[in-house]
Amino acid sequence: MALLEVEDLRVAFGNATAVDGVSFSVEEGRIVGLVGESGCGKSVTSLAVMGLLPKGRGGRRAKAPEPVQAAAAEPAPGAVKAAAAAPQAVPAGGGRRSRGGADVSGRAVFDGTDLLALTPAAMRRRRGKDLAMVFQDPLSSLNPVVPIGRQITEVLERHRGLKGAKANQEAASLLDRVGIPDPVRRLKEYPHQLSGGMRQRVLIAIAVACAPRLLIADEPTTALDVTIQAQILELLKDLVEDEGTALLMITHDLGVVAGMCDEVNVLYSGRVVESAPVRELFARPTHPYTVGLLGSIPKLDLPIHEPLTPIRGSIADVIRWKDGCAFAPRCDRVAEACVDGEPPLIGSAHAHRCVRAEEVA
Amino acid sequence: MLRYTVKRLLQLSVALLGLSLLLFAWFKALPGGPENQLLPENATAQQREALRAALGLDEPIWVQYADFLGRVVRLDFGSSLSSGRPVATELADRLPATIELSLAAMLIAVGVGIPLGYLAAKRRGSWLDFAAVSGSLLGTCIPIFFLAAMLKVVFAQELGWLPTTFRLSAGTEYTDVTGLRVLDGLITGEFDVAWDAVLHLVLPAIALSSIPLAVIVRITRASVLDVVGEDYVRTADAKGLKPSVIRGRHVMRNAMLPIATIIGLLLGSLFAGAVLTESVFSFGGIGSFVYQATTERDYPALMGFILVIAVFYVVINLLVDLSYGLLDPRVRVRK
Ligand SMILES: Nc1ncnc2c1ncn2[C@@H]1O[C@H](COP(=O)(O)OP(=O)(O)OP(=O)(O)O)[C@@H](O)[C@H]1O
Ligand code: SF4
Ligand SMILES: [Mg+2]
């Protein structure tokens, strides 16, 4: 059994569904990518696994929001009638950090325990120890008024019982491990005294401080300079390979996926639409969305005048997965069958969620 | 931190110097010059000249200013026109009462306001939040004078739980050390005196605390709500830290920044409220003194008062700045 098995994870903020039945798994010691465009639910998925989403109303767990009936809406193009249904499943872009909490359902089985079923206190004992996370924005993710040394030692104290000089020593050696020169002096410094790359190294040091078995990195390099990005990715890769840590790498950058990951899950509108070993995915992308993603990255070997092909429409044009393929409004190959109920996941090692993949390919 | 402190001290002396200039100018601009306030109306020209010479008013203006400054530094504000006693002595007699009252009020405001504001933020939308927010609205609307009188009528006069007036019960023997009765009682070991002083402080301090308490509740609530949504709090959560550590080290330490500034501002403004509260409870602070000095145009007394208050403001400001430097490393001078 895999180290982490996410099964049918659903997260709703009030009436807005952010994650709509995500399933994937991360094997011990592997680097697994989670890719998809902005707003598809990558961060929400990882926060749900970490138990970091604001709690929803009371015990009411993920009551599926009522679908909005297709009433007056115009018939969708291409005779896709159902496409008009449930137009507001996911609010476009905005609406982050809404007041209400998240209603989470499904399972996230980590090493045999369903994390979603743990009490908050039990989850706190695991967070930072068995599974840890690196966030996107290193400046805002560090406490501005606490020396970075303390921000490292507090996690050592919490999970490894290290205190005082011992903790400081360990913190310094962690900084050393993540490639920060003069670590003993750096311990006393504050986040604003470090560069962006250094800050991300500090966050990585914090995350690996207790040798977690699973590390989740949510776009760890998007806030950094391009030159720094490569260094940070290299560092992450080295660290997890040294320790045999499993890494869930969240990104929208297929270059990062190609360079780092063993496997990859492509997320669209809160659900996995294709998952495969990395080479396989790049060699034989099956789902039209994946094909589109690959088609929208610049290739160095193409003639300059060859236009990039962006995926038309936006993630806001959406159908609820249980009514049909959520990608249908943007798909070139869409047909009646696509919106005739929930498209199943087909295949295992290389799985996709497209009813027409075989017949078109 | 040392350089930061020195810089602040320098800025502060400049502010005080500016203030002394203003006061000096005001003094010079008094109708007919200050000697008129000191002389009987039928004074002769010789008497006038003699007094002007005695006051140094015939010297060049910069000499007069230097002289004025020298006296101020020595706390020599002259004698009160109404009582004839040195102004410095009068102030020294009365200030401790006002300081004790203000400190007690601030202690209540901070001690109740910050936890209450925190809880209101954490249970946003709950009845507690609602009560805290509407209560603090009420707190800022009720005139202090009215609140003080109400408290006195209900808890002192009707229920008889607490004393109505003065700082100690009549006939209490006490030893004066700092002039702050509670502190003195604790220092000298006269705990019964300290307790008596506390009982006398309760009602006036509650009355005086109403506005700062209301302000602190709301600023704390807003500040905590702000900080709780910050990424670094999520990071702290991702480390699996205990809730108490997250609250103290990560939420409150950041939330304190705006709260500290507000506390400083409130301390300054407490003096105005203290004057009113003192009069209701016959508390014997500077309230009645200032009132009298104003009605009798006792300029030396007023000047002394203004200078002392100005120094207080400046010192409080310094303390706020320093605490800011302690709380927020980004404020300190970069190495
Ligand atoms: N606290 C919240 N309250 C309401 N909606 C939210 C909240 N957090 C996220 N969402 C919504 O959930 C959806 C998924 O968001 P998520 O942050 O997971 O996207 P993402 O894939 O990480 O995108 P990005 O690449 O921009 O980070 C979005 O539509 C977003 O608006
Ligand atoms: S199921 Fe249909 S609409 Fe969805 S991706 Fe496949 S072809 Fe396109
Ligand atoms: Mg994200």
Beta-bridge partner residues of A34 = A250, A265
Q: Across the beta sheet with A102-110, what order do the strands follow?
A: A16-26, A4-13, A102-110, A113-114
The residue out of B18, B43, B74 marking a domain boundary is B74
Which residue has a Cα nearest atom 12 of ligand 1? A18
Q: Which of B232, B234, B249 sits opposite A52 (nearest CB)?
A: B234
Chain B residues with CB inside 8 Å of A129's CB? 240
Which residue has a Cα nearest atom 10 of ligand 1? A96
Q: Which of A97, A145, A154 sits opposite B239 (nearest CB)?
A: A154
Whether B203 and B152 have beta carbons less than 8 Å apart is answered as: yes
CB pairs under 8 A between A and B: 82
pLDDT at residue A87 in the model: 36
Which residues line the pocket of ligand 2, CB cutoff 6 A?
Answer: A 287-288, 325, 327-328, 331, 333-334, 338, 343, 354-356
For tokens 């003639």, the residue is A303
Same domain, B7 and B127: no
Which residue has a Cα nearest atom 1 of ligand 1? A97
Residue B232 belongs to a domain with what CATH number? Answer: 1.10.3720.10
- Give the distance from residue B251's alpha carbon to the nearest chain A alpha carbon, in angstroms: 9
pLDDT band at A92 (very low <50, low <70, confident <90, very high): very low
Chain A residues with CB inside 8 Å of B254's CB? 143-145
CB hemisphere CA count around A113 (13 angstroms): 10
Same domain, B6 and B147: no
Report yes or no on B211 lying in a domain. yes
DSSP state letter for A20: E
- If one counts every other C-beta atom within 10 angstroms of the C-beta of residue B89, the result is 15
Report yes or no on B12 lying in a domain. yes
pLDDT at residue A273 in the model: 93
- Parent domain of B311: 87-332
Question: Could you tell me the sign of the dihedral formed by the alpha carbons of A251, A257, A262, A267, in that order?
Answer: positive
The residue out of B18, B51, B74 marking a domain boundary is B74
pLDDT at residue A277 in the model: 94
Q: Are strands A246-251 and A214-218 parallel, antiparallel or unpaired?
A: parallel
Chain B residues with CB inside 8 Å of A192's CB? 329-330
Percentage helix, strand, coil, to 5, in chain A? 35, 20, 45
- Give the distance from residue B9's alpha carbon to the nearest chain A alpha carbon, in angstroms: 24
pLDDT at residue A4 in the model: 94
- What residues contact B84, with CB distance under 8 A and at least 6 apart? none
The total domain count for chain B is 2
pLDDT band at A98 (very low <50, low <70, confident <90, very high): very low
pLDDT at A17 over 60: yes
Same domain, B327 and B230: yes
Percentage helix, strand, coil, to 5, in chain B? 75, 0, 25
Same domain, B44 and B125: no
Q: Which of B238, B254, B334 sits opposite A50 (nearest CB)?
A: B238
- If one counts every other C-beta atom within 10 angstroms of the C-beta of residue A307, the result is 6
- Give the distance from residue B105's alpha carbon to the nearest chain A alpha carbon, in angstroms: 29
Query: Quick one: which of A89, A54, A94 has its CA closest to A270?
Result: A89
- Give the distance from residue A75's alpha carbon to the nearest chain B alpha carbon, in angstroms: 42
Same domain, B238 and B188: yes
DSSP state letter for A103: E
Report yes or no on B320 lying in a domain. yes
The residue out of B74, B98, B126 marking a domain boundary is B74
Which residue has a Cα nearest atom 5 of ligand 1? A96
Report yes or no on B294 lying in a domain. yes
Per-position pLDDT tens, chain B of length 335: 778 888 888 888 888 888 888 888 877 776 655 666 666 777 777 877 777 777 677 778 888 888 888 888 888 877 887 788 888 888 888 888 888 899 999 999 999 999 999 999 988 888 988 988 898 888 888 888 888 888 888 888 888 788 877 777 777 777 777 878 878 878 887 888 788 888 888 899 999 999 999 999 999 999 999 999 999 999 999 999 999 999 999 999 999 999 988 888 888 788 778 878 888 887 888 877 887 788 877 778 888 888 888 888 888 888 888 888 888 888 775 54
Query: Quick one: which of A126, A132, A105, A125 has its CA closest to A117?
Result: A105
Q: What is the DSSP string of B201-221?
A: HHHHHHHHHHHHHHHHHHHHH
The residue with greater pLDDT, A63 or B302, is B302
Lowest mean pLDDT among A144-153, A161-170, A209-218, A330-339: A330-339
pLDDT in tens, A144-168: 999 999 999 999 999 999 988 999 9
Same domain, B172 and B35: no
Three-class secondary structure assignment of B223-260: HHHHHHCCHHHHHHHHCCCCHHHHHHHHHHHHHHHHHH
Q: Are strands A246-251 and A271-277 parallel, antiparallel or unpaired?
A: unpaired
Report yes or no on B82 lying in a domain. no
Best residue in B124, B235, B244, B331 for a mutation probing chain A (most A CBs within 10 Å)? B235
Chain B residues with CB inside 8 Å of A141's CB? 231-232, 234-235
Query: Quick one: which of B200, B190, B196, B208 has its CA closest to B271?
Result: B208
Chain A residues with CB inside 8 Å of B230's CB? 140
Q: Are strands A113-114 and A102-110 parallel, antiparallel or unpaired?
A: antiparallel
Contact B249 A52 (CB under 8 A): no
pLDDT at A175 over 60: yes
Atom of ligand 2 nearest to the CA of A343: 1
Which residue has a Cα nearest atom 3 of ligand 2? A328
* Residue A276 dihedral angles phi and psi, to the nearest 5°: -165, 165
Which residue has a Cα nearest atom 1 of ligand 2? A354
Indicate the angle between helix axes A164-177 and A148-160, nearest 10 degrees: 110
pLDDT at residue B49 in the model: 78
Distance (Å, whole) CA B304 – CA B289: 11
pLDDT at A75 over 50: no
Ligand nearest to the CA of A91: 1
Q: Is A97 touching ligand 1 by the criterion CB < 6 Å?
A: yes
Whether A17 and A11 have beta carbons less than 8 Å apart is answered as: yes
Q: Is A38 touching ligand 1 by the criterion CB < 6 Å?
A: yes
Q: Which two tokens stand for residue B239?
A: 């480390």
Q: ipTM of this model? A: 0.81
Atom of ligand 2 nearest to the CA of A325: 4
Same domain, B203 and B319: yes
Q: Which helix (H) or strand (E) holds B35?
A: helix B34-38
Report yes or no on B80 lying in a domain. no
* Residue B81 dihedral angles phi and psi, to the nearest 5°: -70, -30
Three-class secondary structure assignment of A134-186: ECCCCCCCCCCCCCHHHHHHHHHHHHHCCCHHHHHHHHHHHHHHCCCCCHHHH
Report yes or no on B220 lying in a domain. yes
Q: Is A39 touching ligand 1 by the criterion CB < 6 Å?
A: yes
Distance (Å, whole) CA B147 – CA A270: 57
Centre of ligand 1 to C-alpha A20, Å, is: 12
Same domain, B95 and B218: yes
* Residue A215 dihedral angles phi and psi, to the nearest 5°: -115, 130
Same domain, B126 and B182: yes
Same domain, B46 and B97: no
Nearest CA in chain B to A210: B239
Centre of ligand 3 to C-alpha A156, Å, is: 27
Report yes or no on B308 lying in a domain. yes
Nearest CA in chain B to A203: B235
pLDDT at residue A99 in the model: 55
Same domain, B121 and B231: yes
Report how far apart, in Å, the C-alpha atoms of B28 and of each of B32, B297, B302 are: 9, 15, 14
Same domain, B97 and B7: no
For tokens 């009462």, the residue is B97
Chain B residues with CB inside 8 Å of A190's CB? 329-330
